[in-house]
């Protein structure tokens, strides 16, 4: 084993963990002041809940010994046979538990992203059950398909996803779309302003996400070598390009340079470069980030016209952005970094088709299974707080506390 690789992946794990508190600030600033604690609590509890699920059965289902290319077995339930001192099947240079804890951080932030779709109106009890069910039923199988040894998308189909375009972003984006449609709009949505209550929180959260994303993408190399360096560089390049492009769009179309737009643009670029980060060089990253701002900005406008209430634009930024990123991974693979033949054994067009199939499967799986979980909760314990509790705000109605006292 290699101590440098181990040190980098443990550091990357901490960086990715920091992204979820960053998401809490990002989302918390975007909601109204009466819901900021409830929104932050979603991200914080995702850390706690998914950490336990992952150790008990989530990791084993996602990365355990393959069963038919579909799911991992429960051979590693409770981390039995997952060594802290010996390597596992996914890297020969780091301990098995190092890989496990790195993947845990991805499993944590993915359902936390979905919470942006139902911000300001979901019961906390329903949220807790949803997080546990979603991470088990949706995330773990999908992670096995794409990244698990023998998983059918990665091993048989041959689609590539360096750091989570399908597993994290498309799954959360289309899960969020299902949640927004099933849970319904906030009270008086469209009839009264629902502006962000704390834009400095939004920028702080975006900055923490940007910082942590270096662990997200560069850590996915599972080495401290050149592949991690390249992923680090293109991650920053795409994020910066997307932020600049979003600000310019805002300036041209509204006459103002939106601060929230700059933060959103950066996150869009980060989500979009994620699946391609280990496969492309700096120049393709600029193009990927530029198009990311265009397609995510357009998706946000489309959402507003269609009138569904994805409160914090999870579908537009993560779902649509990483759809472009997955296609871009096939389109630009090897350009400016090694070459196409270093990654796949087919033509560029054939690889794009593989990417397209992975995208469609992920969209369908996330949307359908999220809908099943939410409809089951709706029919049993209910999803939404009562109207007067929503009016009061989730901070008081669900948690009995206030973020701000006069």
Whether this prediction's pTM lies above 0.95 is answered by: yes
Domains of the chain (ranges, CATH numbers): 3-399 (1.10.3430.10)
Distance, in Å, from the CA atom of 179 to the CA atom of 88, rounded to the nearest integer, reads 36
Which residue bears the tokens 């690789």? 5
H or E element in which residue 36 lies: helix 36-53
**Collapsing DSSP states into helix, strand and coil, what is residue 341?**
helix
β-bridge mates for residue 189, sequence order: 192
Q: What is the pLDDT of residue 341?
A: 81
Instruction: Let me know: does 160 contact 355? Beta carbons within 8 Å.
Output: yes
Backbone dihedral angles phi then psi of residue 91, each to the nearest 5 degrees: -160, 135
CA 385 to mean position of chain CA atoms: 26
Q: Which residues contact 204 (CB under 8 A, 6 or more apart)?
A: 22, 25, 26, 29
33 C-beta neighbours (distance < 10 Å), count: 15
Calculate ∠ Cα 371-376-382, nearest 5°.
Answer: 105
Per-residue model confidence as pLDDT tens for the chain (406 residues): 899 999 999 999 999 999 999 999 999 999 999 999 999 999 999 999 999 999 999 999 999 999 999 999 999 999 999 999 999 999 999 999 999 999 999 999 999 999 999 999 999 999 999 999 999 999 999 999 999 999 999 999 999 999 999 999 999 999 999 999 999 999 999 899 899 999 999 999 999 999 999 999 999 999 999 999 999 999 999 999 999 999 999 999 999 999 999 999 999 999 999 999 999 999 999 999 999 999 999 999 999 999 999 999 999 999 999 999 999 999 999 998 887 888 888 999 999 999 999 999 999 999 999 999 999 999 999 999 999 999 999 999 999 999 998 6
Whole-Å CA distances, 23 to 15, 105, 214, 298, 314: 13, 13, 15, 22, 12
Q: What is the four-CA torsion angle of 20, 24, 27, 31, rounded to 10 degrees? A: 160
Question: Which of 134, 130, 37 has the alpha carbon at shortest distance from 399?
Answer: 37
Q: Are strands 66-67 and 71-72 parallel, antiparallel or unpaired?
A: antiparallel
Q: What is the pLDDT of residue 73?
A: 97
């Amino acid at each position: 084993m290699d101590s440098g690789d181990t040190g980098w992946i443990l550091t990357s794990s901490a960086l990715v963990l920091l992204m979820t508190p960053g998401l809490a600030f990002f989302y918390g600033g975007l909601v109204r002041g009466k819901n900021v604690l409830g929104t932050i609590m979603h991200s914080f509890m995702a850390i706690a809940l998914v950490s336990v699920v992952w150790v008990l059965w989530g990791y084993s289902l996602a990365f355990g010994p393959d069963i038919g290319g579909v799911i991992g077995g429960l051979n590693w339930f409770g981390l039995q046979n997952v060594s802290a001192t010996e390597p596992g099947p996914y890297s020969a240079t780091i301990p098995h538990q190092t890989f496990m804890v790195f993947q845990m951080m991805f499993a944590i932030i993915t359902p936390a992203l979905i919470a942006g779709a139902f911000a300001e109106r979901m019961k906390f009890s329903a949220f807790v059950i949803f997080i546990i069910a979603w991470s088990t039923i949706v995330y773990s199988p999908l992670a096995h398909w794409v990244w698990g040894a023998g998983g059918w998308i990665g091993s048989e189909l041959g689609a590539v996803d360096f750091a989570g375009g399908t597993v994290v972003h498309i799954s959360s984006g289309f899960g969020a779309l299902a949640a927004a449609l099933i849970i319904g709009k906030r009270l008086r949505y469209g009839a009264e302003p629902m502006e962000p209550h704390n834009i400095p929180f939004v920028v702080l959260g975006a900055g923490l996400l940007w910082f942590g994303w270096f662990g997200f993408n560069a850590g996915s190399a599972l080495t401290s070598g050149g592949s991690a360096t390249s992923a680090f560089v293109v991650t920053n390049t795409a994020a910066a390009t997307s932020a600049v492009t979003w600000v310019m769009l805002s300036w041209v179309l509204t006459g103002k340079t939106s601060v929230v737009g700059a933060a959103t643009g950066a996150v869009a670029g980060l989500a979009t470069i994620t699946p391609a980060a280990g496969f492309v060089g700096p120049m393709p990253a600029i193009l990927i980030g530029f198009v990311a701002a265009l397609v995510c900005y357009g998706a946000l406008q489309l959402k507003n016209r269609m009138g569904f209430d994805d409160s914090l634009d999870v579908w537009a930024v993560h779902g649509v952005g990483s759809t472009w990123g997955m296609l871009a991974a096939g389109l630009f693979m090897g350009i400016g970094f090694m070459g196409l033949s270093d990654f796949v054994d087919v033509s560029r067009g054939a690889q794009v088709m593989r990417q397209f199939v992975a995208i469609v499967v992920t969209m369908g799986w996330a949307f359908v299974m999220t809908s099943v979980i939410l409809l089951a909760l709706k029919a049993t314990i209910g999803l939404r707080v009562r109207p007067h509790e929503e009016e009061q705000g989730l901070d008081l109605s669900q948690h009995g506390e206030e973020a701000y006292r006069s």
